[in-house]
Chain A
Amino acid sequence: MATATDGVGTVQAEQSKVWEWLTTVDHKKIGTMYGITGFTYFLISGLTALAIRTQLAVPNGNVLSAELYNQFFTMHALMMIFLAIMPMGASFFNYFIPLQIGARDVAFPRLNALSYWVFLSGSLILFSSFFLGGAPDAGWFAYAPLTDAKYSVGSGLDFYCVGLIILGLSSLMASLNFAVTILNMRAPGMTMMRLPVYMWMTLVVSFLLILSLPIVTVALVMLYFDRNFTTNFFTPETGGDPILWQHLFWLFGHPEVYVLILPSMGIVSEVIPVFSRKPLFGYAAIVFAGASIGVLGFGVWAHHMFTTGLGTVPALVFSATTMGIGVPTGVKIFNWLSTMYGGSIRFTTSMYFAVAFIAMFTIGGISGVMHASPAVDSQHQDTYFVVAHIHYVLFGGAIMGIFSGIFYWWPKMTGRFLSEISGKWSFWVMFAGMNLTFFPMHFLGVSGMPRRIYTYDEGFGWDDWNMVATIGSYLIGVSILIFLINVFRTMRQPATAPDNPWDAPTLEWATSSPPPEHDFDVVPEVHSSMPLWTNREMGIVTPEAPEGLHIHLPPSSYMPLILAIGVGLIGVGLLSHLALVGIGVAISTYGVWGWSIEPTD
């Protein structure tokens, strides 16, 4: 790949496409790889969900064995959280952080490549467990002591530990990179209170991950040691305490929920003003609400543990803090709605998904606040009511937001418009499907149907709504198919998208679609959080690029790939033969050494 760009045209060295992608440090290419990988796992994880729903369609179903069902529901959650929603979020982060803040790349381009390759190796390790003796089957929360070697005899839980440690490493590196980039590389004039809301949410998410991932990493190492080297952190017979795992896990696990939802909140905060064609209502309030959700998110973890015998005072304290999170969340919802007030709303597919996000996320938010009350929680915890709740937050919220972002940014990323007609079909089918799937789960929950059961008997009164939910889940599958067809058809069209097709106010729309490798010829002046609108009102015109513009870009490097292979091998070694760990360490060391002496000019 060219290390420098002359003018607007790019000089391409003669290199194979594959090698170019393997060694790229371009944030846009890395973002694209994150997106494709994440969406692939989204499809696989969706298929496990369909298998689960098929098993539960009728009482005493026999599509899946108990063992396989338990692996599927565990892996459905692990894949959706760590291999689908987080990487799809990271995809947009990668692609749009530099573009939205007017930078040429992230702060540490090679570290960025390393994050992706480490993510890929961790995800392959976790996923391969399906074919290597059985996937983890103790739930994504993996409560001790069920995870102890005594009760989980196979190696599934070892894959869980090693896979998640490696994935966490990737997220940690990426988060540090994103935070440093946003804090240090903003265009001149872009003060913190002029950051696009999406960037604010990215920053909050990055800090959530930086602060919470070390906690779960420690817990995972402890669990791996308990299982393989007979330590006693979580085993009650030998003086350990299973409650300790729950505290450590949820100290990470609850902020993780906000890691999944805040990016989508950021996306709709971009989309709603653009298509309402007016500024975001209460920019500062939305930013502060997002930040306070992040802060409060660290003080509510034990609401997952109301029924563990937490004690009266802790239960009440965590109940109050949890309800408290409803306040900033409410502010956000009201501010999004007020943004639509007085607008002239263009209902594109992206806007459909954004408005649906508000409505669906509100339902998930309401049912969340309901269960902040231990009195309600202890009658609903571990029932389908909670399954309904998390899916309204994560499907109605996170996924709807991601689809809004896909339709919004697709022309910027590819230069092509996704079909609006097909897009609206996929929206309505998905909207109907998700409500048919997840709303009846509220009714199943109050009817007492426990979650994580592979079978249920006739006579409990759960038959009808389960059938409805299963039909709904197939509709979601159909909507995804419509979307995929849309993508494939769109990519065969010529690239026609102009720089700023939606008349959006943020900087990523001030460059070509798709952007050149160096992102901007000239970065526009920034005088507000909506620079392109403000500049137009103020009559500020961004000057043309001077002739013979020379922009220095970091050279591509294969060292991140080498280092990631080394890290992956260490993981494989921990799951097979310790000798491989040695080889992995040697390769990693070579990667670090090569990295350090590599010329960066």
Chain B
Amino acid sequence: MTGRSRQIVLVVASFVAVAFVSWLIFIAFDGAAIDKRMSTLNPLSDQAQSYHDVYVLVWWLSGAVFVVIMAATLILSIHYRERPGVEPRRDIHGNTRLEILWTIIPIVIVLIMVVPTFAAVLSVEGDAEEGALEVTATGHQWWFEFTYHDSDGNELFRTANEMHVPVEQAVNVSLVSNDVIHAFWVPALFGKKDMMPGHNNRLWFKSKPGTEGMHYGQCVEYCGDSHANMRFRIFVESAADYDAWVTNQIAKAKWSDDELVSAGREVFVAKACNSCHQVEYSKSDAPDWLVPPTVAAIGPNLSHLASRTTIASALLDRDESSLRAWLKNPPAIKPGSRMPNLELTDDEITKLIAMLDSLE
């Protein structure tokens, strides 16, 4: 082979090799969209979509730069390796024209990135249109509290770790924290935003049609011992399902006269569960000793615990065995948990579970 054709083969082979590796990388990136609960690649709201569009553009630009630089490195390394009889070109010190060229190329790439970035950020910043649903999300070590408001801003009810929203409805979320910095993130629906103590950040999103279902979220700002265990979910529902859910949440806790449930209520008070957890019975049902005077938001409101699918900040499914394990020793499941090991007996736990299961 002549020198020239050898060069061409080298260049082509290097690009093919790098392109092959890039293709494998592409497949692996794509795999992140499949069966991944927290995938950032399946945008289901207009806001997540506009961020995703920027990501796709930036990804392809990055991929192009990657291929060129990797191939160039490979080609130069192979072609200019030490060979007998070949002298280095010591006369080359630089080339102003080339250097200007590769100052301009990155500038152009940056400009291509800047314009859609600015457009996307401006479209997502601020508040949703009038008539959006208003929810306050509060970060606690280590769980999320959701407070729903009516259109005048009055509080309707509080729930924890599972947020429900109607499909195709714009939602404003006020982000606050009760202690340290947490962050609120459901990749399918919106980008990360911090819950900053002393500040009130806001984000909004509007789910796309046909996105009904359960979407996973997690705290993504390191917040101490159990940062890893601070998860939550957002349920996007049809308007009818959502209205039914709201009606149930607004209602007071269900009163049951079942023997085991009554016993559970006594344990609930005897073990001072009610000093952290609120269960709002209607006054006519509940005796005075059962209604706590004021309730600080130390632990989640349990008035409708049985309407949730999970417990312990979405760590565990809400079933008999999980509840039992949790009540037995909360810090074993969530290290550092504010809920201590109350040394409950199996019998007490059985009663408490009966009571909690009645709170639909």
Contact = CB atoms under 8 A, between A and B. Distances in A.
Interface of A: 65-67, 70, 138-139, 143, 145-146, 151, 236-237, 240-243, 276-285, 307-309, 312, 315-316, 319-320, 323-324, 326-327, 329-331, 333-335, 337-338, 340-347, 355, 358-359, 362-363, 366-367, 369-370, 372-383, 439-440, 442-443, 445-457, 459-462, 533
A319 B99 contact: no
28 contacts: A70-B227, A151-B179, A236-B197, A277-B90, A278-B89, A281-B93, A283-B93, A327-B103, A331-B106, A337-B69, A347-B77, A359-B69, A362-B69, A369-B110, A370-B58, A372-B113, A375-B51, A377-B191, A382-B192, A446-B39, A448-B37, A448-B38, A448-B187, A448-B218, A450-B228, A451-B222, A460-B36, A460-B38
A575 B54 CA distance: 49
Contacts of B52: 379
A277 B88 contact: yes
A312 B125 contact: yes
Nearest to B41: A446
Contact of A309 (B81, B193, B220): B193
B194 interface: yes
Contacts of B32: 443, 446-447, 461
Nearest to A462: B36
B194 A334 contact: no
A307 to B, nearest CB: 5
B89 A456 contact: no
A283 B228 contact: no
B274 to A, nearest CB: 25
Interface stretch (B59-67, B320-328, B347-355): B59-67
Interface in B43-64: 48, 50-52, 54-55, 58-59, 62
Contacts of B179: 145, 151
Interface string B244-279: 000000000000000000000000000000000000
A456 B66 contact: no
Interface string B78-108: 0011110011111011110011001101110
B81 A455 contact: no
A375 B191 contact: yes
Given A282-B94, A375-B117, A337 B72 contact: yes
Contact of B197 (A242, A324, A330): A242
Contacts of A139: 222
A52 to B, nearest CB: 13
A242 B192 CA distance: 18
A358 B227 contact: no
A450 B89 CA distance: 49
A67 B89 CA distance: 58
Given A146-B222, A363-B66, A373-B54, A312 B121 contact: yes
Interface string B208-252: 000000001011111111111100000000000000000000000
B340 interface: no
Interface string B14-39: 00000000000100110110111111
Cβ-closest 9 pairs across A and B: A448-B38, A378-B191, A236-B198, A342-B89, A453-B228, A282-B94, A330-B106, A66-B335, A309-B201
Nearest to B184: A307
B336 interface: yes
Contacts of A308: 194, 196, 201
Contacts of A450: 218-220, 228
Interface of B: 25, 28-29, 31-32, 34-41, 48, 50-52, 54-55, 58-59, 62, 65-66, 69-70, 72-73, 76-77, 80-83, 86-90, 92-95, 98-99, 102-103, 105-107, 109-110, 113-114, 116-118, 120-122, 124-126, 141, 179-181, 183, 187, 191-194, 196-199, 201, 216, 218-229, 315, 335-336
A533 to B, nearest CB: 8
A366 B64 CA distance: 10
A143 B72 CA distance: 41
Given A326-B106, A379-B51, 18 more contacts: A67-B225, A284-B94, A285-B94, A307-B193, A316-B117, A319-B114, A319-B121, A342-B92, A359-B69, A375-B54, A375-B121, A376-B55, A378-B192, A439-B25, A443-B28, A448-B37, A448-B187, A452-B227
Contacts of B116: 375
A514 to B, nearest CB: 27
Contacts of B226: 66
B54 A355 contact: no
A377 to B, nearest CB: 8
Contacts of B99: 282, 285, 331, 334-335
B77 A454 contact: no
B193 to A, nearest CB: 5
A370 B59 CA distance: 8
A70 B90 CA distance: 53
Given A375-B191, A382-B183, A243 B36 contact: no
A455 B183 contact: no
A66 B62 CA distance: 36
A286 to B, nearest CB: 9
A484 B80 CA distance: 31
A461 B37 contact: yes
A383 B187 CA distance: 11
A151 B142 CA distance: 12
B29 A344 contact: no
B244 to A, nearest CB: 28
B36 A343 contact: no
A366 B219 contact: no
